[in-house]
Amino acid sequence: MQLSPIKSTASLVEQVSGRLSELVRDGLTNGDGLLPPERVLAEKLGVSRTVIREATKRLELQGLVEIRHGSGTRVVDKLHKPLNSSLSLLIPDEHERLRQLNETRLIIEPEAARMAAEKATVEQIAALHEIQQRMVDADTTEQAIEIDMIFHHLVAEISGNLIYRLILDSLADIGKASRSRTIGRVGKEKAILHHARIIQTIERGQPAAAEKAMRHHILAAGEDMALEQSSKKH
């Protein structure tokens, strides 16, 4: 993609944001993951450095870049960031957020597991086994929670539906809170057993069984959260 001066009457910041997002998607950085310097972008697009600054701030809010003062603007993959930061405002009650999270996971993840069982490659199945071993070897609850999230992220990725993966990424913060109430309360052993069954069904290419195994896993997590909430009330 060639950068050329902006010649439209629409908002300059909006146009520059669009042009820069194309630059990011096309991978046209300096080769080190950084966008060209602010001065260079301003010259090539024929706008002020102030416009470039506002445009990159907009891209940062969208999760496309990170502005690091002193080292430039780095391309990142945090498209989930806007939703992640707004969930607590949309649903202020934490228990209700976690309940709705589980409902959302029940809609998405069993289908993702079914699709993963249809599409998984040998390399992807090996990656699932590697993550499972990391879960077994985890020394702390914090490590187990992080690895659990990686496992579910990978299943969604294997499904081939990037929107599934993006939605799960968008729920990462609340997902961590959910797991602290399940893995943190009952330990990692139940998750390890459930993950083993999910991996087995994906490896055997059994879509219906994979969907069922994932649904059972998420329902069990919901029950653990409900028990944890009930114990708080008494």
Instruction: Delimit the domains of the chain by residue range.
Output: 12-75, 89-233
Which CATH number does the domain 89-233 belong to among 1.20.120.530, 2.60.120.380, 3.40.1360.10, 2.40.110.20? 1.20.120.530
Q: How far apart are CA 192 and CA 85, in angstroms?
A: 30
CATH of 12-75 among 3.40.920.10, 3.20.20.70, 1.10.10.10, 1.10.2020.10:
1.10.10.10
Under 8 Å between Cβ of 79 and 64: yes
Residue 37 is predicted with a pLDDT of: 83
pLDDT mean across residues, the chain: 82
Average pLDDT over residues 188-216: 96
Q: Which residues pair with 166 in a beta bridge?
A: none
Write out the E strands in the chain: 65-68, 72-75
Residue predicted with more confidence, 98 or 227:
98
Q: Which two tokens stand for residue 71?
A: 């080292």
**C-beta of residue 217 within 8 angstroms of C-beta of residue 198:** yes
* Mean pLDDT of the region 133-150: 90
| pLDDT tens column, 70-129 | 777 777 666 555 555 566 677 778 778 888 888 989 999 999 999 999 999 999 999 999
Angle, helices 122-137/141-158, rounded to nearest 10 degrees: 170
Provide the whole-model pTM: 0.66
Q: What pLDDT is stored for residue 193 in this prediction?
A: 96
The mean pLDDT of 28-43, rounded to a whole number, is 75
